[in-house]
Amino acid sequence: MDDSSTSSSGSGGSYTYGTQEQQLSSSRYPLHDICDSPNDDPILLQSQLFISLNNDNKPANQTGFGFDDDSDDEPAPLPPSDSNSNTQSSEIKVLSPYINSRDPDDNTPLHLALTRCNIECVRTLLSVGADNISLTKKCDGSFPVHVVSCLSALTEFTDQCLELIDILNSHSAVDWCLKDDDMKTPLLLSVQANCLPVSRKILETIKSRQTDRTHEQLNLKGGREGLKTLHIAIKNKNIDMLEFLVEENADVNVTDNQGNLPIHVAAENGWFEGVNRLKEFMGEDADEKENVRGRTWKQVATNAGYTIHDSTSEESTSKTKIYSHSLCSSHYSCPPITRGGADPPPENINRLHVLINKTNGTLRTNHFSTTTWDESCQRASIADVLRVHDYKYVENLTKKSHQLPDRPSQTYSLDPDTSISRWSFEAAMRAAGSLTQ
């Protein structure tokens, strides 16, 4: 895409216009914006990492203003290089103090680069000084190692996550046994993400770096429910993950905060394949094992509404279909959302992007792998619409939306509670059509 064309951020729904240089010069957080770009551009990142100080020790060419209030970092002089050979004697090139700063959402540039799987930007940041600080900073309660684990929930990012683990492992500040604000470790999160390759890689890393903590990490409680790795694998109904964890000596008799063993969790979720596999690991007394309420797995399954026919019974899997027409992503209720700008209203395009974005939307993760998508939603009949809306209201909505230019920044307030853009009416008709078809 040409620099002068419109660009958009797939996950956040933020739109920018003009050349890249113009965008960065007006940005309060240029490093963050580069790292959050869908394009992995380490060269552009390098150009913003180095700033010039004049004789008064003031930035001569820094464009950003998003300095982290809780950071005590001072600009660190960089070693001489060919790129600085033409610098005037009155100036010195230093590392930007913003390399470890936070944006309003608590992100450091490193967190954003990891979230985007911008591998080369991650390498660049770590190579010039983001390792000792950003690696030990939380973003929304998560360290960078947790970000990588969560990303593994997206199947197409599996290979990148494995590579990112190797990159992070080259820095001593990385600790794969850290807990986030939900008391979950990277291993727990990777199991929750349903990604066996990443779980295997993390466990191998723990074995090589912190051998004495391997058993602890396999059987550590996390989250408000106190689930352990086996409980989570069973909730995901992942037989390969279950077998892997048990082979690595995960305890099949551990309990969660509700006093349930893994076999009780499997029974409660109607996953009899998991029940049968756990019985093999637990031995002959598996059927007699009780939870804290004194119930066996069969009693738990019965109470949950499942019928136990025999030891090989298979549970039925229901299918969920999501209707999502492309026009629904073209309804804007506010101007483009920019980092460090005004707070967006509760109803904004970000909410939809977080759910359905094809690259990293929540509904595209491994947890919803059995979900089917229908993007060919029929347009609702105007007769159906007029059953619930006044004709004048519909006419005004149609007229105003069609008059607007086809740009995300062009919105119109139809009333105090309703803002529309060029495709709002058509998006609404497709959304209504998905309910009536």
Report the C-alpha gap between 179 and 292 in whole angstroms.
27
Report the C-alpha gap between 253 and 261 in whole angstroms.
6
Q: Based on the number of CB atoms within 10 Å of its own CB, is 416 exposed (0-12), middle (13-18) or buried (19 or more)?
A: exposed
385 located within any domain: yes
198 located within any domain: no
* pTM (two decimals): 0.79
Kindly list the distances between the CA atom of residue 295 and the CA atoms of 116, 259, 269, in Å, as whole numbers in the listed order: 46, 10, 15
397 located within any domain: yes
129 located within any domain: yes
User: How do beta strands 418-420 and 412-415 pair?
Assistant: antiparallel
235 located within any domain: no
Long-range Cβ contact pairs of 266-269 (< 8 A, separation 24 or more): 266/234, 266/297, 267/297, 267/298, 267/300, 267/301, 267/304, 267/306, 268/300, 268/301, 268/304, 269/234, 269/235, 269/237, 269/304
Report the C-alpha gap between 262 and 282 in whole angstroms.
10
Least Cα distance to 232 among 276, 284, 187 occurs for 187
Which pLDDT belongs to residue 318? Answer: 62
Q: Domain boundary at 110, 138, 166, which? A: 138
Q: Domain boundary at 90, 120, 138, which? A: 138
Report the C-alpha gap between 84 and 164 in whole angstroms.
31
Residues of the domain holding 70: 1-138
Return per-residue pLDDT of the chain as tens, 437 residues. 333 333 333 333 343 434 455 556 667 899 999 999 999 999 999 988 987 655 454 544 444 444 444 444 444 444 444 444 444 445 576 788 889 999 988 899 999 999 999 999 999 999 988 877 788 888 888 999 999 999 999 989 999 999 999 999 988 888 999 999 999 999 999 999 999 999 999 999 999 987 788 999 999 999 988 999 999 999 999 999 999 999 999 999 999 999 999 999 999 999 999 999 999 999 989 999 999 999 999 999 999 999 886 544 455 556 789 988 989 888 888 888 888 887 877 777 788 888 998 888 999 998 888 889 998 888 999 999 999 999 999 999 999 999 999 998 899 988 888 889 999 999 999 999 988 86
C-beta neighbour count of 318 within 10 angstroms: 6
- Per the structure, the count of domains in the chain is 2
334 located within any domain: yes
Least Cα distance to 226 among 196, 267, 188, 178 occurs for 188
Report the C-alpha gap between 134 and 126 in whole angstroms.
9
Q: Domain boundary at 79, 104, 138, which? A: 138
24 located within any domain: yes
For 248-348, where are the alpha helices, taking DSSP H only? 262-268, 272-282, 297-303
231 located within any domain: no
